[in-house]
Amino acid sequence: MKEDSVYLKHILEAISRIEEYTKGISKEEFLSKNIIQSAVTREIEIIGEASKMLSISFKETNNEIPWKNIIGMRDKLIHAYFGVDLDAVWKTVKEDLPLLKKNIGRIKE
């Protein structure tokens, strides 16, 4: 089993890629560009999968992060083949991921 630090690294790398994909684009642009949508949703799936692999003790110790919601978002994206809520994805990108990045950065200090 990998160490939690490895999964945190995967999460931060995925967030960085999402930041790169969405840098300088508006919500309208995001909603109109399938390739960016696909790339972003894939990275959110990776974040959810890495979160799922974190140890229970780590998640309990760092319970200020909504791990169940993060994993739930991944599950929704994986299983909603034709019905991804892109507004929710955009909200995640702009509101939730910066906070997650900040919290993980604090944990790693």
CA nearest to 55, candidates 109, 2, 100, 108: 2
- Residue 92 has which token pair? 């995640």
24: left (phi over 0), alpha (psi -120 to 50) or beta: left
Query: Of 10, 17, 79, 106, which one is the catalytic site residue?
Result: 79
Identify whether 10 is a catalytic site residue.
Answer: no
Length of the chain: 109
Phi and psi torsions of 62, nearest 5° = -115, 50
pLDDT in tens, 79-98: 766 678 899 999 999 999 99
Catalytic residue among 10, 17, 74, 106: 74
Q: Is the pTM of this model over 0.75?
A: yes
Give the tens place of pLDDT for each residue, 4-63.
Answer: 999 999 999 999 999 999 999 999 999 999 999 999 999 999 999 999 999 999 999 999
